[in-house]
Each structure stands twice: as structure tokens, then as C-alpha cells.
Amino acid sequence: MSKNKQLPKVAYFCMEYGLDDSLKTYAGGLGILAGDYMKGAKDHNFPIIGIGLKWKQGYTDQLIGEDGRPYDSYHNYNYDFLEDTGIIVKVQIRQREVHCKVWKCEAFGNAPLYLLDTDLPQNADAWITGQLYGWFGEERIAQEMVLGIGGIKAIRALGLEVDLYHFNEGHALFAGFELLREKMEAGASFEQAVDQSKEEIVFTTHTPVIQGNESHPIDRLLYMGANLGLTVEQLVLLGGAPFNMTVGALRLSRKSNAVAQLHGETANKMWAHIDNRSEIVPITNAIHLPTWVDQNMITAAEQDGDLWEAHLKNKRELIEFVKERTGAQLQQDKLLIGFSRRAVPYKRANLIFSKPEIISPYLEDGRIQIVFSGKAHPLDDNGKQIVADLVAMSKKYPNAVVYVPNYDMATGAMLTRGSDVWLNNPRRPKEASGTSGMKAAINGVLNFSILDGWWPESCEHGVNGWQFGDAFESEIVKEQDDHDREALYKVLLEEVVPTYYNKQEKWVKMMKASILGNKDEFAVKRMLEEYYEKLYN
């Protein structure tokens, strides 16, 4: 790496940041990655600032009702650890001036993070920064206008020097529109402004799931004022009609990145039909080790210490945590599988239950215990049904199947430290990266996963974890599910379970291989260095 003084100064825009459970500005993996990125920037002295929103109610608290179904609950939060910058910027939304207060956060060992807040008495639209991902349509556009347009204005008002604007997902695209507006106001033509802005914008695309790549009707962008003077024709040139935020970001950036090697292939196929788009290079995500990994596990692996006893300490803490949260009593001497994902159909949380005649005996006698966690989007009835199904399974197999409600960072840390095995079975290639698997791996929790996301880059079957499914893909959902189900049961029952109960020496050897083989490659320092080498320079 070059000396830090020579590195470009980067402003990182993201809708959510997962820094700590006391700051409710995250929903899931995107935010956790952004939080780890900001902590890594501070640890390794990279010239990075973050731009985000101060969500008054954060993401949903999702609890389980007496009927076994999840319900959503919202609370107003105040954060006395945020610093008031004294800066207020204004964004025109629906021909009304919206005042956006700028707060600064450095409370969690992170690089400076600036959060915009519309919850001010002078705003008729104080609700804009109310609920993270709470709405769609006009409300979502308003939120993205505050993030993007307000974010650029905040940078200017704070007097911050920025060389490069990094949009983490398409939500930040309106920052690009504000950069275009600045240049066109200074006399550049639209084409010149696009060319100049491209030189200072980079973009990360995360999800191969089409619903995650947001689109808006062009007349709605015009009504909201999000176009900032751009004509319908110019909007169509950037993002098509309807206007796709991911397409717009791909066309307005000089270079883009996917978040794993396999995701690089998937993203380039997915967006192959888009002309004039930036190149998409793969840069695999990584994690902030001090936040997620028990250093005792790394030390034991490096120094030939008692890895098993260090792991059992974490497993006991998880068992106690589960008991406190749910009342269920798990057993330390039984195989414990962790599964923690957003509740969406393609992640197939219930795949392991889909042939009860095979799996039931193992659950009934406790040889296999499974702890699930993960929220559904508040407006996703399919996701909520998945959660309800998992809750029903926990009632059918008490003390063998557990659902921990209201997933948060503490739950994620407990599960990725204390489980014996980390299960991951999305429909390939729908998983972009899957950083929870990295956390598990570096804690000595053995991955048992479809070859999707980051796992193909690490997996040595039977050496540092297991794969199942042999990278099979089918566009026919039933065919994919049938194939992967059989593969899951075969590897679980013929390899994972026998190794755990009968070959402990081999198990511990695999734990050591998992820790030593992943602790550097999937640490945030490597990711940041790759950003500077492949995206920022």
C-alpha cells in the first residue's frame, strides 16, 4: 500500500450502519458491513468518512405474538453520544425546504460518521428519517434524497475535503445527481458533468435478488424533485424507465465492485445488457475481527492451546443467552447448529425440516440442536410466515429447535461464537457474500454451506468445514430444492454428525484450519486494501 497521505480521501454513503446495538441505524448485513468498514478505516488509519441517516425509530423490533407470528414494534431513540456539528443543510423535496441537521458519530472506534436528521420542529416532513426501510414509493425517495443530496451538501458545509464518493448500494445515487447539478450550474453540459462526475464516483452492488435493486417511476422522481433539473431524457439515459437506482449508479461510476468472487460473475451476467456501465470487479467482503471474533480462539489456534475448551466456554455462553431470551435449555454435549439470516424465501431457513421422516429422529432425541434468528421485513408477509414456521418448529421440538426473536448484533455475535456448525443454504447464486459465515469460521465454528457467496473461496471440504450441493444450479425452484435437500442430509448425517460425536480430534483439527485459514483473508484490513488498490486508485 502507498503511504496514507497519498491515498484518496473517500466519502462513503450508506443507508444503514451497524456499529453497536445502542445505535439503531442498521437492519442487517448491508449495515453490518458498513459498520465494520468504518471501524476498519479507523483501526488502519484510512482517510474515510461516512455519510448516513439518523433514524429516529431505527429498524423494527420484531417480537413473537401469542399466535406464534412476528409483529413489529417501533420506539423513539435519542443518542447522547452523538456530537452536534451545528450544521443544518436544506434539501428541496416536493417543492418544500427540508432542514437536515448533521450529527457526528465516533463513539464506537469508527472513522467519522455524519448522520443527517430531519426530525426538527421547523420541518413539516420531520418523518423522513423516522423508520429505516419503513416505506416504499415517495417516502423512500425522500429518504434517499436526504442521504444523497443532503449528504453532499453536508460535506460542503462541513468543509470536508473529498476525492472520491463511494455509493454502497443504489440508495445513495442522488448524491451523484447533486454532483451533476453542481457541475452543470458551473457551466458544464450534461454530458460533461456526467464524464466529470464519473471520475469521482465508485459503486458497490450487493444483491443479485432483483427486488433488492430499487426502481422508481420517472414521474415520481420529477414530482419529488429528485431529478434536480435533469430532464426525462437525461434520467432515461442514466437509469432507464422505470428508473433503476442500480443501473443509474453503474452508469454514473467509474468503477463498481461486487462483494465476492462468485458474485462478481453473477453481477456481470445480471447487468450484461446495460450499455455504458462501469466495470464490475469482485472485492470480497470481510469482517471487523475485534467486534465479532473471540481473540482467545485465534490465540489457541496459533499457539496450540486448548481450542476445544475455549470453544466450550463460548458455547456455554450461547446456551445461557438462549435460555435468557427464550427459556429453552440446550445441551452442551450435543451438536449445536446456528442459522441466522434475514427471513426471505431464497435463504430457505426451513430446508432442513423439509423431510421430517429423515430429520425428526435427530431432533427428538437431541442429537441435533438448531438455533435460528433473523427478522422479516415489516411489509413482507412471506418472510413473516417463514418466521412463524420456525416458531412452530420450536414448539414441535422444544429444547432442540429454538427461534431467538428480535435479531440484533448481540445475537449475531453469540451465535457465530457459540454454535458448533454454521448452516447456510441459499438458492445458489442468490447469496452475494454472507459475512456471518466468516465470523463463524474465524471463531472455529465450522461452516456447513452451499457453495455460494464467499464460501467457494475458502471451502476445503472435510478440512475446514463442509459444502453440500456441489454448486448445482437450476432455474426450476423445486429441482434446486430437491437436489440441495438430499445433499444437505447426506453430508450432515454421513459426515458432520459422525465427526462431531466420534472423531473429536478431527473436529478440533478442522476448527484450527478454519481459524488459521480465514483470519487474515476475511479481515477488514484486506478488504480496505483491496478497495484502495482496485476501486479507489
Q: How far is CA 273 from the centre of its chain?
A: 26
Q: How many separate domains does the chain show? A: 2
| Same domain, residue pair 187 and 303 | no
| Same domain, residue pair 481 and 530 | no
| Same domain, residue pair 297 and 245 | no
| Same domain, residue pair 424 and 499 | yes
Q: How far apart are CA 326 and CA 319, in angstroms?
A: 10
Beta strands in 252-343 (DSSP E): 255-258, 279-282, 335-340
Copy the grid coordinates of residue 448: 456447513
| Same domain, residue pair 250 and 365 | no
Q: How far apart are CA 199 and CA 202, in angstroms?
A: 8
**In degrees, to the nearest 5, what angle opens at C-alpha 87 toward C-alphas 33 and 159?**
75
Residue 420 covered by a domain:
yes
Q: How far apart are CA 291 and CA 289, in angstroms?
A: 5
In terms of Cα–Cα distance, which of 405, 408, 343 is closest to 66? Answer: 405
| Same domain, residue pair 296 and 232 | no
| Same domain, residue pair 296 and 372 | yes
Question: What pLDDT score does 212 carry?
Answer: 74
Please check the confidence at residue 303 and state whether its pLDDT lies above 60.
yes
Alpha carbon separation from 36 to 256, 274, 438 (Å, rounded): 20, 31, 13
Question: What pLDDT score does 76 carry?
Answer: 97
Residue 144 covered by a domain:
yes
Residue 84 covered by a domain:
no
| Same domain, residue pair 155 and 256 | yes
Residue 250 covered by a domain:
yes
In terms of Cα–Cα distance, which of 262, 419, 402, 210 is closest to 322? Answer: 402
| Same domain, residue pair 325 and 268 | no
Q: What is the mean pLDDT of residues 473-484?
A: 97
| Same domain, residue pair 428 and 452 | yes
**Count of C-beta atoms within a 10 Å radius of residue 401:** 23
CATH number at residue 156: 3.40.50.2000
**In degrees, to the nearest 5, what angle opens at C-alpha 329 toward C-alphas 326 and 332?**
130
Check: CB of residue 408 under 8 Å from CB of residue 375. Answer: no
Residue 81 covered by a domain:
no
Alpha carbon separation from 349 to 101, 322, 374, 390, 506 (Å, rounded): 41, 19, 10, 8, 28
Q: What is the mean pLDDT of the chain?
A: 96
| Same domain, residue pair 281 and 317 | no
Q: What is the DSSP string of 296-310?
A: HHHHHHHTT--HHHH
Task: Provide the Cα torsion 406, 410, 416, 420; round to 10°.
Answer: -80
Q: How far apart are CA 377 and CA 134, in angstroms?
A: 9
Cis-peptide, bond into residue 242, ω within 30° of zero: yes
Would residue 228 be called left, alpha or beta, if left means φ above 0 and alpha means ψ between -120 and 50 degrees? left
Residue 403 covered by a domain:
yes
Q: What percent of the chain has pLDDT over 70?
A: 99
Q: What percent of the chain has pLDDT over 90?
A: 96
Residue 82 covered by a domain:
no
In terms of Cα–Cα distance, which of 396, 457, 160, 313 is closest to 447? Answer: 457
| Same domain, residue pair 184 and 210 | yes
Q: Which domain holds residue 246?
A: 4-51+135-286+526-536
pLDDT digits over 330-382, tens only? 999 999 999 999 999 999 999 999 999 999 999 999 999 999 999 999 989 99
Question: What pLDDT score does 490 carry?
Answer: 98
Question: What pLDDT score does 2 carry?
Answer: 45
In terms of Cα–Cα distance, which of 137, 150, 313 is closest to 220? Answer: 137
Phi, psi (deg, nearest 5) at residue 215: -125, 150
**Count of C-beta atoms within a 10 Å radius of residue 137:** 11
pLDDT digits over 33-57, tens only? 999 999 999 999 999 999 999 999 9
Using DSSP, state whether 193 is helix, strand or coil: helix
Query: Residue 259 is inside which H or E element, if any?
Result: none
Question: What pLDDT score does 282 carry?
Answer: 98
pLDDT digits over 234-279, tens only? 999 999 999 999 999 999 999 999 999 999 999 999 999 999 999 9
pLDDT digits over 397-440, tens only? 998 999 999 999 999 999 999 999 999 999 999 999 999 999 99
pLDDT band (50, 70, 90) for residue 210 = confident
Residue 24 covered by a domain:
yes
Q: How far apart are CA 138 and CA 437, in angstroms?
A: 36
